[in-house]
Amino acid sequence: MENWVDKDLKYIWHPCSQMKDYEELSPIVIDHGEGVYLYDTDGKKYIDVISSWWCNLLGHCNPAISNALKEQADTLEHVIFANFTHKPAIRLAERLSKILPKGLCKFNFTDNGSSAIEAAMKVSFQYHEQTGNPQKTKFMALSDAYHGETIGALSVGDCDLYTKLYKPILMDIVRIEGPDCYRCPYGKCRDNCDCECAKKAEQIFAQYGNETAALLVEPLLQGSAGMKIYPPLYLRKLRELCDKYNVHLLADEIATGYGRTGKMFAFEHAGVSPDIMCLSKGLTGGYMPMAIFATTQKIYDAFYDDYNTGKAFMHSHTYSGNPMACSCANAVLDLMEDGKILKRAQENAVYFNNMIKDKFLSHKNVGEVRHIGLINAIEIVKNKDTKEAFDGKLRLGYQIYRKALKKGVILRPLGDVIYFNPPLIMEREDMNYATDVAKECMQEVLG
């Protein structure tokens, strides 16, 4: 019998991991998945309440998406997307144009979220260069942002865990102190404030707005920062500033799109549109790597000219517009277009959040329970009154994660923030079990 764990450790360097940790917690070899469950090679069942890094939207091995992928693989697996096209991509773009925020009507395909961010940044820069504003060479982003791992995307990010080591080779980004609703410096609450924190953005725009091409933002939810959630009003104020200073508002909806926040796209909560929107993760239901940036006719038109003018967007990826990924994406929209899945998820979101608050808020080390859609985050603190955090070297979240794995729940916290970001199809019985396990493990670690 083959020892898959030993072979894994011999050859594979896992992402976002200190491989030495694997000496005590070996990689779990997953054999198959179904719905919200994953099964390892020993037959043990795990509830995937983090949607396998937030991309599994409608459950593992969803029959409709699987069948769409199989059928496409027998028809056309891939074709160069320059001067060639295919029906799945055309159909997907047409359908997205009808459901995205108003004005987003042109689609550029890449193969992962970081690449979509990079491409969108390049488009913004080139647009300003070609429309008489060559001084607009800077980019703005919020504090604690996360936008991906390639150099440009990493540059606009602001999570030290990912960026600190690489700062000597990163771009110089204009940083806006973003909203921190749990530790609000104005003593306000996210549910009824006037977003006084937007004054910070106003000051930065006054200083750098005329030199800035685009502001990148994770709408309503800063995921890797610890599932930090802020009000829709903040987005509306950013939209006003971008309009005033001719700055593109670039929405990173890679993690927030496709129903994660309770609406199809997070920007819908704010009632305004970005100039550019990046999509990935739930786009294909977690089946195939693909990403898209969508933009406006106005931006597109700045690139439309005779070839010799040099205005074309000369950016490409080998797997741009991959037919199999597009077919998966169309299958996702087929499943979601009648609204029933999102409606059920919205109903379950209320139940889920109430349950989590009932189970966790009274704990001596739970500072806040915050939520949007089915996403719920539990921030663990050393002192509930002062909101003082634990020393990160204790790795309390990691300890809770390890204990939960033994009981069949995949938590994978963000530092000391335990969170749930399940597939939209997760039902209440599994919510009950997953939260019971998380509570037990938290008590075992923290008392």
Give the domain ranges of the chain.
4-62+339-446, 67-336
Let me know if the fold of 4-62+339-446 is the same as that of 67-336: no
Mean pLDDT of 170-182: 97
Per-residue pLDDT band at 2 (split at 50, 70, 90):
confident
Alpha carbon distance 202, 77 (integer Å): 48
User: Between the CA atoms of 158, 162, 165 and 168, what dihedral angle is there, to the nearest 10 degrees?
Assistant: -50
From the list 319, 305, 321, the residue with the least C-alpha distance to 127 is 305
From the list 293, 290, 271, the residue with the least C-alpha distance to 282 is 290
Per-residue pLDDT band at 1 (split at 50, 70, 90):
low
Per-residue pLDDT band at 215 (split at 50, 70, 90):
very high
Alpha carbon distance 113, 53 (integer Å): 12
Tally Cβ neighbours within 10 Å of residue 268. 17
**Do residues 291 and 279 lie in contact, with contact meaning Cβ atoms separated by under 8 Å?**
yes
Predicted TM-score (pTM) of the model is: 0.97
Mean pLDDT of 381-405: 97
Strands 138-142 and 221-222 turn out to be unpaired
Percentage of residues of the chain with pLDDT beyond 70: 100
Alpha carbon distance 156, 149 (integer Å): 10
- What is 67-336's CATH number? 3.40.640.10
At CA 309, angle to CA 305 and CA 314, rounded to 5? 80
Mean pLDDT of 40-64: 97
Q: What's the pLDDT tens digit per position in 305-340?
A: 999 999 999 999 999 999 999 999 999 999 999 999
Note the pLDDT of residue 212: 98
Q: Give, in words, the CATH class of 4-62+339-446.
A: alpha beta
Three-state DSSP state, 292 = strand
